[in-house]
């Protein structure tokens, strides 16, 4: 059986979004219904997603989403990897101002069937949940690369803390979160990435990664982890409980507070089988 997936991404800053998208496009059990982009310069981010889709021979609807958080300043204003776009064929014309409605209509068309995968700040999804309160109940599940559940801040959660709070206050029947606690355990140095990212599917990713590697020593597989866990649930172990998002203190606004509770509405990944992760990943992208 295939899994219907909607992907909301800030592709173009960290390289892990591009890795996640490549995995989903090549996962035979994945039916990717659409991609929405979020944070600064969402059209350029849509172009990057288009380049990867075209290279992999898959047509997917792509909608640039919101570029400004609900209340706070946008910290992620530019798209560094866009400098490599000229190397790859991609679309440049996308529907503007329609990302939220696209998500809403698609979810209503497939009630109880869609996994919403969020791998960026949650602005689009917070607005979606507020606009249509039925949406969480219509989703099969939500998988989020979001949070840090041992007392530190994480980029996606703090990027739009108010949207993050909306999403966690209105959970789907299954809402699984993959925070830095677990994603940081899946890492490769830049040289290892260059050696192992062979094969046609990963060619544009490796090109975009060189932009990332000018300022970073390697690749942490933050965003691919929820994608792989969707198709191999045994790659991570989860605890059930409650997630609350800090909104009071400006110093730590967006921090995710975790409390274990067997009857809680959230599930958080706290362990990952790293060897199994890479076996799954390479078996698909190669």
At residue 268, the pLDDT reads 98
The residue range of the domain holding 144 is 3-285
At residue 1, the pLDDT reads 84
List the CATH number of the domain containing 93.
3.90.245.10
For residue 104, CA distances in Å to 1, 165, 168 come to 24, 19, 18
> 3-class SS at 34?
strand
Cα dihedral across residues 53, 54, 59, 63: positive or negative: positive
> Strands 62-64, 30-37: parallel, antiparallel or unpaired by DSSP?
parallel
Strand pairing partners for 36?
Answer: 8, 63
CA 101/CA 181 separation, integer angstroms: 33
Strand pairing partners for 176?
Answer: 143, 267
Q: How many domains is the chain built from?
A: 1
CA 234 to chain centre: 20
At residue 286, the pLDDT reads 85
> Which pTM value belongs to this model?
0.97
CA 167/CA 172 separation, integer angstroms: 9
Predicted confidence pLDDT, tens digits, the chain (286 residues): 899 999 999 999 999 999 999 999 999 999 999 999 999 999 999 999 999 999 999 999 999 999 999 999 999 999 999 999 999 999 999 999 999 999 999 999 999 999 999 999 999 999 999 999 999 999 999 999 999 998 899 999 999 999 999 999 999 999 999 999 999 999 999 999 999 999 999 999 999 999 999 999 999 999 999 999 999 999 999 999 999 999 998 889 999 999 999 999 999 999 999 999 999 999 999 8
At residue 151, the pLDDT reads 84
Phi/psi for 257 (5° steps) reads -95, 135
Name 189's Cβ contacts closer than 8 Å, sequence gap at least 6.
Answer: 217, 218
At residue 122, the pLDDT reads 98
Six-digit token pair at 28? 């035979």
CA 136 to chain centre: 17
CA 119/CA 144 separation, integer angstroms: 6
């Amino acid at each position: 059986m295939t899994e219907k997936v909607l992907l909301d991404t800030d592709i173009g800053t960290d390289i892990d979004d591009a890795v996640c998208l490549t995995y989903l496009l090549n996962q035979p059990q994945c039916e990717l219904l659409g991609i929405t982009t979020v944070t600064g310069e969402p059209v350029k981010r849509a172009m990057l997603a288009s380049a990867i889709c075209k290279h992999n021979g898959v047509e997917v609807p792509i909608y640039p989403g919101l570029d400004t958080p609900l209340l706070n300043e946008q910290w992620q204003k530019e798209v560094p990897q866009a400098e490599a776009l000229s190397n790859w064929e991609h679309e440049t014309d996308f529907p503007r101002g329609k990302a939220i409605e696209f998500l809403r209509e698609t979810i209503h068309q497939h009630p109880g069937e869609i996994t919403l995968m969020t791998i960026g700040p949650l602005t689009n999804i917070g607005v979606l949940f507020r606009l249509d309160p039925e949406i969480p109940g219509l989703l099969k599940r939500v998988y989020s690369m979001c949070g840090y559940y041992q007392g530190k801040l994480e980029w996606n959660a703090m990027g739009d803390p108010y949207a993050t709070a909306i999403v966690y206050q209105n959970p789907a029947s299954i809402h699984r979160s993959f925070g830095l606690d677990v994603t940081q355990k899946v890492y490769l140095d830049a040289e290892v990435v260059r050696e192992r990212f062979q094969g046609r599917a990963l060619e544009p990713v490796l090109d975009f990664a060189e932009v990332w590697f000018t300022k970073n020593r390697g690749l942490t597989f933050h965003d691919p982890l929820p994608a792989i866990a969707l198709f191999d649930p045994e790659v991570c172990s989860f605890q059930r409980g409650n997630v609350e998002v800090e909104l009071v203190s400006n110093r730590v606004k967006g921090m995710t507070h975790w409390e274990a509770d067997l009857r809680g509405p959230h599930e958080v990944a706290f362990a990952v089988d790293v060897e199994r992760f890479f076996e799954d990943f390479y078996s698909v992208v190669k």
